[in-house]
Amino acid sequence: MQQDKENLSRRDLLKILGASGIALGGVGLATPTKAEAKSDKAPNIAIIGAGLGGISLSAKLVQELPNAKIKLFDADPILYYQPGFTLIAAGIYNKQDTQYNKKDLIDSKVEWIQENVSAVNPNTDNLTTTSGQVYPYDYLIIGTGTMNQFEKYQGLTEEFVNDPNTNVTSIYTPDGAVKAQSMMKKAAKEGGKVIFAEPNTPFKCGGANKKINFLLEDLSVTNHTKEKIDMCLYTGGGAMLSSPTHAKMIEQFYIERKMPYLMRHQLVEVDTARNIATFEKLMPYTENGEQKVSKERFEKPYDYLFVIPPMKTADFITEAGLAITKGHTDGNWVDVDSYTLQHKKYSNIFAIGDCAGVPKGKTGASIRKQYPVIAENLIAHLNNQPLKAKFNGYTACPLLTHYGKAVMVEFDYEGTAPSMPCFGATRESWLNWFVKVYLMKPMVMSGMIHARA
């Protein structure tokens, strides 16, 4: 039986290696089939944001619209492989393992304007950079990602969170992830009061903080110090994840491992001098047919605090009238069709990645499915054809549950969506861990970002 399990694992590994384009002889992507141009037209395309989405899409458009004039707007010279931040905290990566120069990633046929965009006028089809320069466009793709708002928690700033000498951190910044590594080691060795806090508004990679929670618990078991650690996860939302199946799975893990958690508990204030976190317990109710929420404040002392900040998109999106104007994301995410990723009002505007106002899809895996959709739909619109390419809401998050084990969390608009049977929908395995730690980064940073995967 054990031999059968080992053989199955080897077969599964070979499947993964083949699917990811990784050669067994070394970490090198297989030579891709050369893409064929799909149009000889020459539109003026502006892409705002040289993150994973913007760079991957620009590479795809170079392949399929070789005559297009593509400008990529972004002042930041560094791209971080953000899925690696949890591995920094886990002590597997260091900061340099996640850091890339954008000049080495952006296709030479793309004009990189090293400025940020301060304004967009969708009625006259032009944008303005921070220096005041105006650029016209025929098509606009917004890929600005999200901005952290630590200051929404009274008493916190990003500078404080990144400061290596404080006891509050976040794995949503590279320096915070480095700091998280030392905080985890210290807590696992010495014990103490540990709080994990998540907001009740949309944020990227909903499983990230829980991975650190799981790994800290695993470390404490290994160090025989679990009884010395008083830790709890406080999440502002009413579920562990937007996928119901995986939300229940995560809850079950917490219950089985005797890890405390509380939902509908929103962090509102941090007294960094007294090491006190203030939460609001959110209690929804209905009165005369109207949905209301009762709130009750309470304080919790901490020795270590891991926070996920509330997030927003760039201000110009709201100012240009491109944002969602109702619901709890009012005035924030780009108002696009959930399937075509085309703006609902301006047909020559699309959005990719975390800033897109879609129900699901705030991970790098989502971008991998989005950039071919936008490329195909942009070309269809250019040729006055219907937009047939659809994004199905796919997202993936390798949920690290132990050192050496993970669940490949995959879902879309319809529900769970395992891409390979060996991953399993809710199965913990070393194979999923292996994919996260060793295969995902080369697939993304050597393949996807050049539109090869």
Summarised one tens digit per residue, pLDDT across range 179-192 is: 999 999 999 999 99
Q: Are residues 326 and 232 in the same domain?
A: no
Task: Provide the whole-model pTM.
Answer: 0.90
Tell me the pLDDT band of 6, cut-offs 50, 70 and 90. very low
% of the chain with per-residue pLDDT over 90: 81
Q: Are residues 329 and 282 in the same domain?
A: no
Determine the pLDDT at residue 25. Answer: 31
Q: Quick one: average pLDDT of 45-67? A: 97
DSSP one-letter string for 249-267:
HHHHHHHHTT--EEESEEE
In a domain, residue 303? The reply is yes
On the CB side of 49, CA atoms within 13 Å amount to 25
Q: Quick one: average pLDDT of 405-427? A: 89
In a domain, residue 179? The reply is yes
More confident call, 59 vs 201: 59
In a domain, residue 402? The reply is no
- Tokens representing 116? 């940020």
Q: Quick one: average pLDDT of 275-300? A: 94
Is pLDDT of 430 > 50?
A: yes
Q: Are residues 286 and 173 in the same domain?
A: yes
Tell me the pLDDT band of 418, cut-offs 50, 70 and 90. confident
Please give the angle made by the CA atoms of 27, 30 and 35, to the nearest 5 degrees. 140
Tell me the pLDDT band of 17, cut-offs 50, 70 and 90. low
92-121 residue pLDDT tens: 999 999 999 999 999 999 999 999 999 999
Q: Are residues 139 and 175 in the same domain?
A: no
In a domain, residue 159? The reply is yes
Tell me the pLDDT band of 148, cut-offs 50, 70 and 90. very high
In a domain, residue 418? The reply is no
Q: How many domains does the chain have?
A: 2
Q: Quick one: average pLDDT of 130-134? A: 98
201-219 residue pLDDT tens: 888 888 899 999 999 999 9
Handedness of CA 435, 16, 377, 344 (dihedral sign): negative
Is pLDDT of 153 > 50?
A: yes
Least-confidence region, from 12-16, 238-242, 397-401, 416-420: 12-16
Which burial class, exposed, middle or buried, applies to 4 when counting CB atoms under 10 A from its CB (0-12, 13-18, 19+)? exposed
Of 310, 327, 349, which closes a domain? 310
Q: Are residues 168 and 224 in the same domain?
A: yes
Virtual CA dihedral for 15, 19, 25, 26, nearest 10 degrees? -130
Tell me the pLDDT band of 33, cut-offs 50, 70 and 90. very low
Length of the chain: 453
Tell me the pLDDT band of 19, cut-offs 50, 70 and 90. very low
320-368 residue pLDDT tens: 999 998 876 777 899 999 999 999 999 999 999 999 999 887 888 999 9
Determine the pLDDT at residue 423. Answer: 86
CATH number of domain containing 179: 3.50.50.60
Is pLDDT of 3 > 50?
A: no
Beta bridge partners of 79: 100
Q: Are residues 174 and 232 in the same domain?
A: yes
Q: Are residues 48 and 80 in the same domain?
A: yes
Q: Are residues 209 and 279 in the same domain?
A: yes
> Which structural domain range is residue 78 located in?
37-146+313-392
In a domain, residue 14? The reply is no
Q: Are residues 231 and 346 in the same domain?
A: no
Find the DSSP H helices in 207-285.
208-222, 244-256
Q: Are residues 137 and 185 in the same domain?
A: no
Tell me the pLDDT band of 265, cut-offs 50, 70 and 90. very high
Of 279, 310, 341, which closes a domain? 310
In a domain, residue 268? The reply is yes
Determine the pLDDT at residue 37. Answer: 73
| Nearest by Cα to 448 from 358, 322, 352 | 352
Of 287, 310, 333, which closes a domain? 310
Tell me the pLDDT band of 23, cut-offs 50, 70 and 90. very low
Distances (CA, A) of 272 to 155, 168, 180, 194: 7, 8, 17, 14
Q: Quick one: average pLDDT of 368-390? A: 97
Is pLDDT of 26 > 50?
A: no
Q: Are residues 111 and 58 in the same domain?
A: yes
In a domain, residue 139? The reply is yes
Q: Quick one: average pLDDT of 239-258? A: 95
Determine the pLDDT at residue 35. Answer: 59
Q: Are residues 170 and 290 in the same domain?
A: yes
Determine the pLDDT at residue 24. Answer: 30
